[in-house]
């Protein structure tokens, strides 16, 4: 699949690090670093603008290393970039640690995954088919 992209950052285009990687790293495109205090959030710009085909989305997901080592994650995970969006990709980061974290220009702040999706059409009915699970909710399928 080929996707049109405009890169207004000074960084290379996102790329897959290995042959089996699902996501490409997004880098912060900053003129000065951002200090993210505990429990603060910010939108980090990437300098990237994309044109996705209809039927695809770009998912913005956290990087496991930032989350595990520093408590930094994507707040609306996964964030969705719709096929008709033409603005700059931004990443909403939140600091869930108890220490300030400095985001520097070029830092890998999130992953971008391109995913196909289906559009649903609702069919209103009076009842749904029965299943063994029924209306069992959160945690209802685990071992008791």
143 assigned binding-site residue: no
- Is 84 labelled a binding residue? no
Does 81 count as an annotated binding residue?
Answer: yes
55 annotated to a ligand binding site: no
Return d(Cα 52, Cα 54) in angstroms, integer.
Answer: 6
d(CA 77, CA 62): 7
86 is an annotated ligand-binding site residue: no
- Angstrom CA distances, 11 to 72, 106, 107, 108, 130, stand at 21, 7, 10, 11, 53
Is residue 29 part of an annotated ligand binding site?
Answer: no
Confirm or deny that 73 is annotated as ligand binding.
no
Q: Which residues are annotated as a binding site?
A: 63-65, 76, 80-82
Q: Which residues are annotated as a binding site for substrate?
A: 63-65, 76, 80-82
């Amino acid at each position: 699949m080929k996707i049109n992209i405009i890169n207004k950052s000074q960084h290379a285009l996102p790329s897959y690090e290995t042959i089996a990687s699902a996501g490409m790293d997004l880098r912060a495109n900053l003129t000065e670093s951002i200090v993210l205090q505990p429990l603060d959030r910010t939108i980090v710009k990437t300098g990237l603008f994309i044109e996705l085909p209809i039927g695809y989305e770009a998912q913005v997901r956290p990087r496991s290393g930032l989350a595990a080592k520093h408590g930094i994650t994507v707040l609306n995970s996964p964030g969705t970039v719709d096929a008709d969006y033409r603005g700059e990709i931004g990443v909403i980061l939140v600091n869930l640690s108890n220490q300030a974290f400095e985001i520097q220009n070029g830092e890998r702040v999130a992953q971008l995954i391109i995913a196909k999706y289906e559009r649903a059409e609702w069919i209103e009915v009076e009842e749904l088919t029965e299943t063994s699970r029924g209306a069992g909710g959160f945690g209802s399928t685990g071992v008791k």
